[in-house]
Amino acid sequence: MQKTLMLMVCRIVFLITVAFGLVPISGFAQDYPSGESGDQPSYPGIPPTQGKLEGTLGSYNLRAYGTVLLNISASDTPPVGGDVTLWASPSSGRTTFLDGTSKRVDDVHDLIFTARQSVFGLMVKPASTSGDAWQASGKLEFDFFGTRPVDTFLQQGRVLNQPRLRLAYFQLAKKEWKITAGQDKAIFAPLDPVSLSHVAIPLGATAGNLWAWLPQVRIDATHDFGKASTLFQFGVLRPQFGDPRLSDSPAVGTSIEGAPGLGERSTQPFYQARFAVSHPMSGSKVTVGASGNYGRERIGADRTLDSWAFAIDYAVPLHRRVTWRGENFVGSNLAPFQGGILQGVSFVAAAGTTPAQLKRIGAGGGWTELIIKATEDSKNVFYLGVGDDDPRDTHLFTGTTRSRNAFAWASYFRKLNDNVTVALEWSNWQFKARGIAGGVAGPQAPSGTANVFNLALAYQF
């Protein structure tokens, strides 16, 4: 009932906004794959419009960019994911404290300070370009969301995270063609909600926002038809499932290259494609895209399971100062993109003469977001949105019981100057699970609700 009311309120806000002609922010960070948005920084937020940190060295143009980011978050229930919320913890659980006392999970509150979602990157391209020759460029981007090093002389509670690779690719471009090789955002379902609370992991992961950064080889082709333009993308990507339900993750202290996962053992890559159409509208452009993914994982000596998905993405300027954007998806075995609430396959191990049971989990969902430019100078921007990931209950087994994850959020971005942004964000998370009776999904199991408040202080260069 509470989730239904939450979604209804957000839809009413959306309808009122459209009815009164409020209007899309020009200049929010575009996050289509680089084949569409150009070789520009694509982290969430509003990057500086001038005074970029770049220069010419010999025959190359070098640009450094980044976000020094401090997040302060508080929650009324400790969410799964900590400083990057994934879903709410079931409220029926209890937390036991050092002195032996305990409380219900929904009576425990957290306050987290973290700077590990800070981002830095480098871009390089030729200082002079020619439209008749293939031009090379590259991008390398890191954050500090990596593992915490072990040191027997320092408390492990100290924040000493290692850098983590986000993007690392080079491109060859000539007129309407572009070839990309390296680690980049997936072609499939390329958009993410705009948020400074979730930079290391996009907002809405496991709650309707499919995403991945994967090594790939991709070709992009653009074509203009008068004022309209089209983009076709096709690529092969690393088939990395990382499904915790099947223990498809590297052991602690090892690299996955030394211990291939179930996707790698299929000897088939992910195949992805996307077709998008753009057209000028309300001083900006409307873009609508359709994309798909197909892959396999080998879970036995001769047995494979397919993974497939189809998604629609859109960015629509409803008026000069309002943008409506989002994605919707349907698919099966979506753990590689954190779909199905990070559940790809239901699995019950073999016992005696009873063979192992495996079933792909189908899921559908998506997210939608309104971006409202409150002032002409783009210094005051509001974001409102909802998301939902709904696995099919009939595909759930014992140990695989997450049945729905929905959330709503609202945020306010205030640019203090061209480099410094302050952002306030509230998100409400609604998580549901199913009990398993007789090997199939039964009555509702303990579920959870969480409210998370985040203050972000960002210096972008």
- How open is the CA angle 181-142-170, to the nearest 5 degrees? 20
Rounded distance between C-alpha atoms, residue 22 and residue 373, angstroms: 9
Asked whether 91 and 433 are in contact (CB, 8 A), the reply is no
Among the listed residues 297, 291, 284, the one whose alpha carbon sits nearest the alpha carbon of residue 241: 297
Q: Which amino acid is at 18?
A: V
pLDDT (mean) for 45-70? 84
pLDDT (mean) for 170-190? 95
pLDDT in tens, 99-157: 767 766 667 778 999 999 999 999 999 988 776 889 999 999 999 998 877 767 766 66
pLDDT (mean) for 36-49? 57
| pLDDT confidence bin for 223, thresholds 50/70/90 | very high
- Percentage of the chain beyond pLDDT 70 is 83
| pLDDT confidence bin for 284, thresholds 50/70/90 | confident
Enter the tokens of residue 236. 């092969």
Instruction: Cite the beta strand spans of 175-263 per DSSP E.
Output: 177-185, 213-225, 228-237
Rounded distance between C-alpha atoms, residue 184 and residue 214, angstroms: 6
Instruction: Cite the beta strand spans of 260-356 per DSSP E.
Output: 270-281, 284-298, 304-319, 322-332, 345-348
Helix (H) or strand (E) holding 453: strand 440-460
List Cα–Cα distances, 283 to 8, 23, 279, 280, in angstroms: 30, 11, 10, 7
Comparison of pLDDT for 308 and 439, the residue scoring more: 308
Rounded distance between C-alpha atoms, residue 443 and residue 433, angstroms: 9
Give the least confident one: 48-52, 112-116, 214-218, 234-238: 48-52
pLDDT (mean) for 200-204? 95
Question: What rounded mean pLDDT belongs to the chain?
Answer: 84
pLDDT (mean) for 64-83? 92
Model pLDDT, residue 268? 94
Among the listed residues 457, 450, 461, the one whose alpha carbon sits nearest the alpha carbon of residue 207: 450
Q: Which of 28-37, 103-112, 237-246 has the highest mean pLDDT?
A: 237-246
Comparison of pLDDT for 8 and 299, the residue scoring more: 299
Rounded distance between C-alpha atoms, residue 318 and residue 21, angstroms: 8
Model pLDDT, residue 350? 76
Model pLDDT, residue 315? 94
pLDDT in tens, 377-414: 889 999 999 999 999 998 988 878 899 999 999 999 99
pLDDT at 354 exceeding the cut of 80: no
Within the chain, how many helices (H) and strands (E) appear?
2, 22
Model pLDDT, residue 37? 42
Beta bridge partners of 281: 284
Model pLDDT, residue 378? 85
Model pLDDT, residue 19? 34
pLDDT at 171 exceeding the cut of 80: yes
Asked whether 286 and 315 are in contact (CB, 8 A), the reply is yes
Give the least confident one: 189-198, 351-360, 361-370, 451-460: 351-360
Asked whether 194 and 28 are in contact (CB, 8 A), the reply is yes
| pLDDT confidence bin for 38, thresholds 50/70/90 | very low
Enter the tokens of residue 111. 């306050």
pLDDT (mean) for 325-342? 96
- Percentage of the chain beyond pLDDT 90 is 57
270-281 vs 213-225, strand pairing mode: unpaired
402-415 vs 440-460, strand pairing mode: unpaired
- Rounded to 10 degrees, what is the CA torsion of 179, 180, 181, 184? -160
pLDDT (mean) for 230-253? 86
| DSSP-assigned letters across all residues of 60-125 | EEEEEEEEEEEEEEEESS--BTTTS--BPPPTT-EEE-TTS-EEEGGG--EEEEE-TT-EEEEEEE
Q: Which amino acid is at 22?
A: L
362-373 vs 380-391, strand pairing mode: antiparallel
- Sign of the dihedral defined by the CA atoms of residues 24, 30, 32, 35, in that order: positive
Q: Percent helix, strand and coil across the chain, each rounded to 5?
A: 10, 50, 40
List Cα–Cα distances, 159 to 11, 155, 162, in angstroms: 40, 9, 10
Rg (alpha carbons) of the chain, rounded to whole number: 23
pLDDT at 450 exceeding the cut of 80: yes
Model pLDDT, residue 239? 95
pTM above 0.95, yes or no: no
pLDDT (mean) for 259-285? 91
Model pLDDT, residue 101? 75
Beta bridge partners of 137: 171
Rounded distance between C-alpha atoms, residue 387 and residue 326, angstroms: 9
